[in-house]
Chain A
Amino acid sequence: MTRASYARTRTVGLALVVLGMLVMAVGHGWGLFVAPREAMMGDVGRILYVHVPTAWGALVFYLVGFVAAIGTLWTGRRIFDASTTAWVEVGTLMTMLLLIQGSIWARPTWGTWWTWDPRLTTSAVLAMSFGVVLLLRRLIDQAGRRSMATAVATIVATVNVPIVYKSVEWWNSLHQPMSSRESIDSPMWMPLMITSLGVTLLGIGLATLRTLIELSRLLAEEAAPELPELPDRLSLTRPEESP
């Protein structure tokens, strides 16, 4: 990557972050002040405009990470490795926010900070499995092994998500079916769309910047002078030193 293309990509990333925040500000302004109160939950229901876009973002970003992970295994190219990390990281950020918002919403509506609702539980498992992927990545020094481990763990974690969702649904349930166009009144639909767009733009921007950082790290690591590899295992019998 040339210096010019690096700078250009970074500008695009920064612009997306700013644009995403602006769009979110518009959407939240609409949601807080223009949209009507929700009939059952009152003003509490307005957290919808924060919560649903976050959930959407988390799922989409993980999915992009999953595709990038497949790219890593398929081609072994650096850019896929860097973007897997970037997307999984942004997705994990979203999932953490999702859990906090969910708890705040659950308190007044369900009367508890936490229930073993399929979506809550799946979000927790989601944060756990992808958080550990990031941890795993940090702990491996050797580049090839690290990119493989990140990719494989990302793929397995992604495939696990629908299974966890289904199994928790059957295990214990007090859940609302997924919100869809039909169940949300039109004055509430618009701000939801705008904030979702904002979160998506923000996420793309953040992931772009993060990919650049990771890519620079990988390049710097490769450019660094090669150190003699440490012995992978200690042999049980040391060769006798000749007197």
Chain B
Amino acid sequence: MTLPQEIAAVIAKDLRVEWRARAQVMALVAFAAVVLMLFSFAVGPDSTMLAKHAGGYLWLAMLLASTLSLARSMQTEVETGALEAMLLAPLRAPAIFYGKALANLAVLLLVALVAVPVDLVITGAGVQDPLSLLAVLALGAGGIAAPGTFYAALTARVAGRQLLLPLLLFPLLVPALLASVKATSLAMSGDAMGQMSSWLILLLCFDLIYWSLCGALFEKVVES
């Protein structure tokens, strides 16, 4: 098999797993929606405040939901010995990484698909620039998926991984999170200073770094 074929096979496998455990995906989506509700409770019924921070709430909900889905997706591989099986198949390590990361990205986008409307309804924010918002969602979720898959693999066998994964992940995601929140706010409330394209380019650069670096180091992680 060529590398793209291997990646496609891993994606197909992962999505099939998600589909068969679709109740879990539903629970994940519900979790994101509940987190959004809780943010509004924490802030109070101040509609201007809520609308102002709608982008921030959205990405925090995405981030919290992602740590759950990422941990689970790697958990199944390690617990059942599927990771060894894939390596023996033989699939190349980068193929496993990119396949799993892309599948995780798909799940995150599904979460976003529900979280965005919920966020808009709860906070009363509008969308000025839907096309840019879609781009931000894709790039931002990409920024979470690659390092997330990577660190989920690194911590899959460690005791206390449920705590360790978010701890490892959050500092790493700071740049992607900041850029995503800023760009989302611009897409929602209007781009007064004409900065959208810059934020998108930045997000793309972050993604390129995470996806290439994590892909290169993944082999070391699964080898040991």
Interface residues of A (CB under 8 A from B): 73, 125, 128-129, 132, 135-136, 139-140, 144-145, 148-149, 151-153, 155-157, 159-160, 163-164, 166-168, 170-171, 232-233
Complex Cα spacing A163 to B79, Å: 34
Of chain A, the residue at the smallest CB distance from B161 is A139
User: At the interface, is chain B mostly helix, strand, loop or mixed?
Assistant: helix
B221, A148: Cβ atoms under 8 Å?
A: yes
Contact partners of A233 in chain B: CB under 8 A: 78-81
Count how many pairs of residues, one from A and one from B, have CB atoms less than 8 Å apart in the complex. Answer: 86
A153, B224: Cβ atoms under 8 Å?
A: no
A232, B220: Cβ atoms under 8 Å?
A: no
Which of B164, B174, B220, B221 is within 8 Å of A164, CB to CB?
Answer: B174
26 contacts between A and B (CB under 8 A): A73-B220, A128-B167, A128-B171, A129-B172, A132-B171, A135-B167, A136-B154, A136-B164, A136-B168, A145-B157, A149-B158, A153-B154, A153-B168, A156-B213, A157-B171, A160-B171, A163-B209, A166-B175, A167-B206, A168-B174, A168-B175, A168-B178, A170-B178, A170-B202, A171-B178, A233-B79
Complex Cα spacing A145 to B176, Å: 28
Of chain A, the residue at the smallest CB distance from B159 is A139
Smallest CB-CB A-B distances: 5 pairs? A167-B175, A129-B171, A128-B171, A171-B178, A148-B224
A140, B171: Cβ atoms under 8 Å?
A: no
Of chain A, the residue at the smallest CB distance from B177 is A167
B224, A132: Cβ atoms under 8 Å?
A: no
Contact partners of B179 in chain A: CB under 8 A: 167, 171
A125, B171: Cβ atoms under 8 Å?
A: yes
B39 at the interface (CB under 8 A from A): no
A132, B168: Cβ atoms under 8 Å?
A: yes
Given A140-B158, A163-B209, A233-B78, A152-B221 contact (CB < 8 Å): yes
Q: Write the nearest CB–CB distance from A207 to chain B, whole angstroms.
A: 22
Of chain B, the residue at the smallest CB distance from A148 is B224
B217 at the interface (CB under 8 A from A): yes
Contact partners of B81 in chain A: CB under 8 A: 233
B209, A132: Cβ atoms under 8 Å?
A: no
Complex Cα spacing A6 to B127, Å: 66
Of chain B, the residue at the smallest CB distance from A159 is B213
Which of B154, B155, B157, B172 is within 8 Å of A160, CB to CB?
Answer: B172
